[in-house]
Amino acid sequence: MLTRDVMTRDVVTVRRDTSVREAARVLTGHGFTALPVVDERDDLLGIVTEADLLAGRLRHDARSPRLAAELAAGPPSPAVGEVMTTDVVTALPWTDAADLVETMRARGIRSVPVVEPGRGLVGIVSRRDVLGAVGRPDEVIEHAVRRGLRNYAGRDRWTVSVHDGVVTLADDTEDATERHVATVIAQNVPGVVDVRIVPARG
């Protein structure tokens, strides 16, 4: 499964001059944890996260001895461009989703922008997107596998069943090449855990 199979394509973005307050409203309104920051050509400039937006935004209580120093330091940065992270981990649409998940886990990243050379930002992958693929209903997986096999073979040659993400393909031939292709097609459907082939009459 590739990154393009799980990424969100309709990406909500902000610009460098977007106010921190507006970006915070967008994040909370959509339930996001991060927003890509782009220029007028949709080229990625950075990413702004919940942590970036929270930095320096809350003053200590009036009774705290730390409040005076905070007030003396002046107001926090008003624009996204001044608080965003510019060292951004990105992925290509054809990055293997398994590799991307390992990177996200290892670096504690919740969202990764997807960029394509010559096109700029084309999507974003969040942990929620990946979990959505992992928890995909069996009937949805079965429909997608059937469609993929039909597109390849042109007819419903294979009997398909899915249980807990495990796909079982029943076929009455023993063509190793055909079985390999069918397995690859099924394995590339988001949510598939394993693929098994059994005889149709066995």
Work out the pLDDT band at 26, boundaries 50, 70, 90.
very high
Neighbours of 162 (CB within 10 A): 25
Domains of the chain: 3-134 (3.10.580.10), 138-199 (3.30.70.2210)
- Predicted confidence band of residue 54 (pLDDT cuts 50, 70, 90): confident
pLDDT of residue 46: 95
Higher-pLDDT residue of 78, 96: 96
Query: Which segments of 65-175 does DSSP mark as H helices, in order?
Result: 67-72, 97-107, 127-134, 138-153
